[in-house]
Amino acid sequence: MKLAPNLILVGPMGAGKSCIGRHLATRTGLPLVDLDDEIERRAGTSIGAIFEHEGEAGFRRHEHQALADLLAVDRPADGLLLATGGGVVLDVGNRRLLRERGFVVHLHAEPATQLARLAGDTTRPLLQRDDPGAVLRELAGQRAPLYAEVADLRFATDGLDAADAAALLAAQLRLHWRRGVPA
């Protein structure tokens, strides 16, 4: 059983990090912070606008700073439930922070599931291409090893709605994670 102050959800877009996170926050009593929402709040603009004006590299700088601030060692030990963006694992410093400061759950979804869940979503800059399915498959191939590197637990969300997934995940968490600060 891992002792960690924060519960962190990683995984590809459309895996359910934000939706499952809302249900899980109720079950755990942890405040939910959506990293993408936090980045937008701090920047005073949308993620799409950040990508447009600063590119992906600029967005990743915003992402790293917000993550570092949220997971800072001097934050209260009560912890938080953090729903990250799909690419948070691309940065080696982010991966270190995730491993050191939380119990990390890799929410996995197959690209077909992701595509169905994201149908009609125009807010995701990386999917604004001719073949979003191909993009999701390519991202899965690149990022799956990185999710595995940071994950304390892998949880598949295919075929589950957010409430059922949160209930099943909460049961798994009781077996693998204890909230607190490691000695």
| Sequence ranges of the binding site for ATP | 14-19, 124
Q: 169 near 106, Cβ under 8 Å? A: no
Distances (CA, A) of 10 to 34, 44, 130: 11, 24, 26
Q: Which residues pair with 34 in a beta bridge?
A: 83
Could you give the CA distance from residue 49 to residue 14 in angstroms, rounded to a whole number?
21
Annotated binding site: 14-19, 36, 60, 86, 124, 143
Annotated binding site for substrate: 36, 60, 86, 143
Residue 15 DSSP symbol? S
Annotated binding site for Mg(2+): 18
Per DSSP (E only), the strands in the chain are 2-4, 6-10, 32-34, 81-83, 102-108, 153-156, 177-179
Could you give the CA distance from residue 94 to residue 170 in angstroms, rounded to a whole number?
25
